[in-house]
Amino acid sequence: MARIHFAADHGGYELGRALHERAAASGFDTVWHGADEYDAGDDYPVYAIRVGGSVVEDQDAGIDAFGVFVVGEPAAGAVAANKVNGARAVTSSSPRDAINSRAVVDANVLVLDGVAYPESAWLNVYAFVTSPMQQTVERGRQILQIEEYENAGTIEGWAVQLEPEQIAVRHEETH
């Protein structure tokens, strides 16, 4: 099963620990990057960046890895995690939303609200880490454009020039 990197700030500590334990009990390879105990004064950026960086490092090494960051301010957590080159962090309020974020942007870090109901949060996590990206030329091209801007600061269109057979994804037929 996939590796899941977990962390939480003080606003999501209890839920983050519970999700980490549940994922481990479900057979996922899990890593905890948060504090060893609750700290009311901790700041979210360090944990968001740890999770994002660990996911990208594993993915670059060919490991099927995801991140889950539970935080009191989910939008802020997503912004911080997205500062890691290669991290694509999203927030999610439902399993459908989690599945869509994987399908459309190949998101690799899920940021959850620390006050979410545990069962709802788990369903989001499970949907996120078990859902694939849409393997289409269009989605591959769009991800390449995002990565080109992230790495070069511009979209010159090299990704747009690729022919469908040059992208290692399935081509969906349109009817």
Same domain? 40 vs 58? yes
- Please compute the mean of the pLDDT values over residues 14-24 and round it to a whole number: 98
Same domain? 152 vs 103? no
Split at pLDDT 50, 70, 90, the class of 165 is low
Measured distance CA(115)–CA(32) in Å, rounded: 19
Same domain? 61 vs 86? yes
Split at pLDDT 50, 70, 90, the class of 153 is confident
CATH label of the domain that carries residue 70: 3.40.1400.10
Task: Using the predicted structure, report yes or no on whether residue 6 has a pLDDT greater than 70.
Answer: yes
H helical segments located in the chain: 13-25, 44-60, 74-81, 95-105, 118-130, 137-152
Task: Using the predicted structure, report yes or no on whether residue 150 has a pLDDT greater than 70.
Answer: yes
